[in-house]
Amino acid sequence: MPNIFTIKNFINPQTIQELNAWVNVGVDKKWLDFGYNNSPSLYTKRVNSRYYADRYQYPQVVYDVSKKITERLQIDDLPLFFFGGGKDGIVVSCTFPDGEVASHTDNTDGSCHVLRCNILSRAADRGGHLIMNGQKIDIEVGELHCYLASDNEHSVSKVEGGTSRILWMFGYECSKDKFNQLLGEVNDVAITN
């Protein structure tokens, strides 16, 4: 069973709109580009910012959200997670219709676990569900959801309909003990065990 906690309505509709607008431009301008889906060849149904940090600068709203996460969870003592790409510990992905994310655990540099504090800023019309350790996890737009991505196998089911799915991932280096402490300390959350 996965350990994940969520904070509903973490960001407001205006912030969601700004994040999605940046991604829409980023897809057109190739700030986000193809990645891999458990295969050595490029996967064309999803783009992300992971390998392309030299192409873009995140807008201030992204850093405001990052700061809000750090302050709300009181994790300013945790280093940002840079291993595997992204910029400033942040990666955004856009999964197009018929796209999915293959089951995986996040790679680490061996010195820590990866705490992912994610926000879905646009949901697919249908599908595009987070699956952790074989269990579907319901995630709402604007909600913060956090888990050790290096310790839980996770995937995203096929995106269906005409709307792409946008996920913002804010990464931190984190021990299991620290994550368990967060599970016990964070208020107004729904915890799935």
Q: Evaluate whether residue 191 is within a structural domain.
A: no
- pLDDT band with cut points at 50, 70 and 90 for residue 1: very low
**Domain contains 50:** yes
Give the structural domain span for 76: 4-186
Q: What is the pLDDT of residues 97-118, one digit of tens each?
A: 999 998 888 888 777 899 999 9
Query: Are 132 and 183 within 8 A, CB to CB?
Result: no
Q: Phi first, then psi: give them for residue 146, nearest 5 degrees.
A: -130, 135
Is 192 within a domain? no
- Answer yes or no: are the C-beta atoms of 137 and 112 closer than 8 Å: no
Q: Is residue 168 part of a domain?
A: yes
Q: Count structural domains, the chain.
A: 1
Spell out the residues 6+ positions from residue 183 whose beta carbon is closer than 8 angstroms to its own. Answer: 3, 5, 191
Instruction: Give the model's pLDDT for residue 72.
Output: 95
Q: Which two tokens stand for residue 115?
A: 């705490």
Give a yes or no: residue 193 inside a domain: no
Residue 118, domain CATH: 2.60.120.620
pLDDT band at 193 (very low <50, low <70, confident <90, very high): very low
* Distance, CA of 124 to CA of 189 (rounded, Å): 24
Residue 79 lies in a domain: yes
User: Tell me, what DSSP letter sits at residue 187?
Assistant: -
* Cβ count near 38 (within 10 Å): 10
Give 127-176 pLDDT, tens digit per residue. 999 999 999 999 999 999 999 999 999 999 999 999 999 999 999 999 99
- 149 within a domain of the structure (yes/no): yes
Q: Which residues contact 124 (CB under 8 A, 6 or more apart)?
A: 95, 97, 159, 160, 161, 163, 164, 165
